[in-house]
Structure 1
Amino acid sequence: MSDRTVERLAGDEWAIAATLALAGLGIAAGSQLLVAAATLPLWYVAAAAFGTNQPSMVRVNRRISVRDGASGGPIDDADESTNSGSATVSADPGETVTVRTTVQNAGSDTIVDLRVVDGVPDTLPVVSGSPRACETLEPLEETTLEYELEPRRGEHAFDDVTVRTRDLTGTVAETWRAGAGGDDAVRCSPVVESVSLGDGANDYAGEVPTDEGGSGLEFYAVREYEPGDPVRSIDWRRYAGSRELATIEYRAERATRIVCVVDARPSQFRAATTARPPAIERSAEAAEQALEALVAAGHPTGVVGFHEQRLTTVAPGTDPATRREASQLLEGVREADFLGYRSSDRTRTDDPVADLPRALPGEAQVYLFSSFVDDEPVDLVERLRARGYAVRVISPDVTTAADDIATRLESLDRETRLARARATGARVIDWDREQSLGVLLRNAIRKGGRR
């Protein structure tokens, strides 16, 4: 608990003015009652001047709980029991963070005028409810502030609760900051358990099934025996029945390289509302989570950020240096400092849509993160598909939550662009803000086809 500040609020002027007015009116009217009433404001001033302040005591407890914004349902008991008593609560983008801060009068006197402001982190917008309250509390009586926050990436610590009380006359105010027990931080760093792979592959053994025979686990075909075939591949059952040699082939599995392409053009700094993160921040966040999940699974993964006049590339890999460079690039994108990021593999271009396909490995899969508020991402998807790349689109929707006609028309145009991207054979995920990022990348992206 911080030091208390006691101040006496100004208010003598009106009392003196009221005294003079009543006294003058009483003398003019010859009314002894009005003259006597003129002394009442002076008693008020005297009480404020000579009165003593009794320090108030409050007890504060904060509880943070999380519910899935997509379901819109109540918080289940499992979630509450998990978060109960923890100092830091974890949440994913798209979920709703509910804060309940309880303030109890721990003293023996009534607090006539209690004003409380919870220490909400500046980086977390309040979407409903209020973190403020003004109450009168009897001894041991309590009040609860309840409000909801929209989680943003990172760890956000709550400040102490600001408390302000006034005495019965309203002229003496006491202000201090009270520490809150219970939960005190929200961490928003969703972990993606797995990201399914598409049909792009190279000639190295890996986990992506192909339409060709080779070493693997899944049965592919039976062919005539050829000299030099491994003994373990011979179909001995067939030989026992017909005395004919045949060789079993299994479906070959190839390795794949993946490139996360993040649209960092100025059009991506748009958000659905001023209280919500822009498309570029959501795209960078989704790309980073996909990158970590894919690299952890052993798939070489890189990142390309494209601006109107430059391409910045981190080549696919699984080593710590690749992960570090990719994270730095995505952090620069997220913090709107894409141009300030320095990389040895940075290409200046007048037409990034035309030049980007030529900068990718020929067998790579492409994950494109863009809001599709203009036609350039569609042109890019069409060029990539024409070159045979497997393309997945994760598109954050920034045209929702608006009632004006212009935004509705833009929403229709965006849906048309996504339909055009699907028509090329790309797999498209229309990412609404209410969808959890982890659920999106784990469940919405299905396994791809064959090579």
Structure 2
Amino acid sequence: MSERETDRLDRGEWGLVVALSLAGIGLVVGSQLLVAAATVPLWYVVAAVVGTQQDATVRLRRELAVDDGFDGESGGFDTGSDDGSSDPGDTVTVRTTVRNVGSEPIVDLRVVDGVPEALSVVSGSPRACVTLEPGAEATVEYAVELCRGEHAFGDATIRTRDLTGTVAETWTAGVAGDETVRCSPPVETVPLGGGTNDYAGEVPTDEGGSGVEFYAVREYQSGDPVGAIDWRRYAGTRELATVEYRAERATRIVCVVDARSSQFRAATTGQLSAIELSGTAAERTLETLVAGGHPTGVVGVHDHQLSTVSPGADPTTRRRAVDLLRATWGADSVGTTSARLRQGDPVETLPRLLPGEAQVYLFSSFVDDMPAELVEVLWARGYAVRVISPDVTTGSDDVATRLEALDRRNRLARVRATGARVVDWQLERPLGLVLHDAIGEAGDR
């Protein structure tokens, strides 16, 4: 809590002027009524002179609710996912309760909640002006729209006035309860296809080896482990046979984020741009893959430049990849990251930078032909490709926007014709559900 600043808003000068004017006019014209009326402003002058600061004591508490708001059954708020994160564009309802814990009533209490600068208020107001009796409370309720990042709410600003309205006190007070909200949607799992390497991992393959899922029974060969022999078959036929299980291999993933100038477009002025949506999806996909032990890299595709972080699962690689992703959507400068920079046409340069067995996750809005051409080239060279495409062509119903939306659908159909997996991300759907659809489509190459 900060120190209180006391201001005397009015010292009663105007009341004294009015009183003297009325009295003077009354004496000149001989009106006893005007002379008597001159005593009324004098009472205000007296009140302004003797007015004192009010010893107000308040306590504040804040609760945040994502989407569903107050849960009547549990008696609390739904704060979104288990890890406290939410999707960009989600609406968060904020309820800040202020209670008068002093022994005197507060006749004029004004509260301004500490809204993070990056969040815009879309309904309600973070301000309130109320009168509180001792023990009474009032609630300030409003809603903010989330954007990517972690946002901390600040202290509330309090201002009180005494009964005469001439003395005001202003200070900031800490708010108990919820303080931060993170806009970084969780992803439980990520679809993995058949592009694998020779290391053990979690992706089933079409070959026998060490694993847990039955694959085939073959004739026994000298040197086969004793534990792999089918002893039941031997007991019945006296023939040795070896049981093989489906081998599981690790896979290297490369998240390719389209960060060209065409991607800094949003469906409407109040929504996130394509690059912010793609960056969010790519970052959460990266974190999930690395947490699962899959070597993962990132490529940022710019107009005439590619920034790359090679696949890996170690903390250093993860940090470098996250830095690169945040730089692609403008939070930092690409030049300040530790990514490697390559000049050239993305369609020609990217295939030369990818590991031979890598799977590619492409994040782009497909508002032009370059992403479709890139997918065709990658698929022709044997790369498994998955596309997650935020739709930013739905913000208007004019002819030009409808034509752009049609062109985009044709590009996605062109990509599907290659065999690539495509998730058309309609912005009213949360990112978690979009990626869940991609997981449901997962399969072999």
- The TM-score bracket by the shorter chain reads 0.7 to 0.9
Q: Which amino acid aligns with 1:50?
A: V
- Work out whether 1:446 is the aligned partner of 2:423: no
SS in 1 for 2:278: helix
1:328-373 deviations in whole A, cap 9, x for unaligned? 2123224443432344632111x21232123212221111122333
Check whether the contact 1:259–1:303 (CA below 8 A) recurs between aligned residues: yes
CA distance in 1 between counterparts of 2:185 and 2:71 reads 19
Distance verdict in 2 for CA 1:89–1:319, change over 3 Å: closer
Equivalent residues of 2:51, 2:164 under 8 A apart: no
Letter in 2 for 1:371: S
Hey, what's the Cα distance between the residues in 2 that align with 1:249 and 1:141? 73
Matched with 1:380 is 374
2:95 alignment partner in structure 1: 100
Name stretches of at least 5 consecutive residues in structure 1 with no aligned partner: none
Distance 1:410 1:75 in 2: 42
Measured at CA, do residues 179 and 205 of structure 1 come closer, stay the same or move farther in structure 2, by a change above 3 Å?
closer
Identity across the alignment (%)? 64
CA distance in 1 between counterparts of 2:337 and 2:301 reads 14
Q: Give a deviation string over 1:170-228, Cα, whole Å, max 9, x none.
A: 332221112222333334455433223112223454432334455544444556x4865
SS at match of 1:445: helix
Q: Secondary structure at the match of 1:384?
A: helix
- Alpha-carbon shift at residue 26 of structure 1 (Å): 5.2
- Residues 51-450 of structure 1: matches in 2 within 5 Å? 51-64=51-64, 66-67=65-66, 69=67, 75=71, 77=73, 80=76, 90-94=84-88, 95-221=90-216, 225=219, 230=224, 250-343=245-338, 345-349=340-344, 351-400=345-394, 407=401, 410-433=404-427, 435-442=429-436, 444-446=438-440, 448-450=442-444
- Tell me the alpha carbon deviations over residues 91-145 of structure 1, each in whole angstroms, 9 at most, x when there is no partner: 3225543321111223333322221101122223323222111112223221101
d(CA) in 1 for partners of 2:263 and 2:172?
A: 40
Task: Give the Cα separation in 1 of the matches to 2:289 and 2:263.
Answer: 25
* Residue 6 (1) aligns with residue 6 (2): yes
Partner of 1:49: 49
TM-score, structure 2 as length reference: 0.84
Aligned residues: 441
AA matched with 1:363: E
Does the 8 Å CA contact 1:301/1:315 hold for their aligned counterparts?
yes
The one-letter amino acid paired with 1:185 is T
**Which stretch of the first structure deviates more once superposed, 358-367 or 422-431?**
422-431
Q: Distance in 2 between matches of 1:111 and 1:343?
A: 57
Compute the displacement of 1:159 (Å).
Answer: 1.8
**Are the aligned partners of 1:165 and 1:173 in contact in 2 as well (CA < 8 Å)?**
yes
Further displaced range: 40-49 or 226-235: 226-235
Displacement of 1:161:
1.3
Q: What RMSD, in angstroms, separates the aligned Cα atoms of the two structures?
A: 3.6
Alpha carbons 1:118, 1:160 under 8 Å: kept: yes
Deviation at 1:163, TM superposition (A): 1.0
CA contact (8 A) 2:213 2:246 kept: yes
Higher relative contact order (CA 8 A, sep 6+): 1
| In 1, Cα distance between equivalents of 2:61 and 2:403 | 47
Decide whether aligned partners of structure 1 residues 106 and 368 sit closer, same or farther in structure 2, where only a CA change above 3 A counts: same
d(CA) in 1 for partners of 2:432, 2:221: 51
2-side partners of 1:379 and 1:6: how far apart? 67
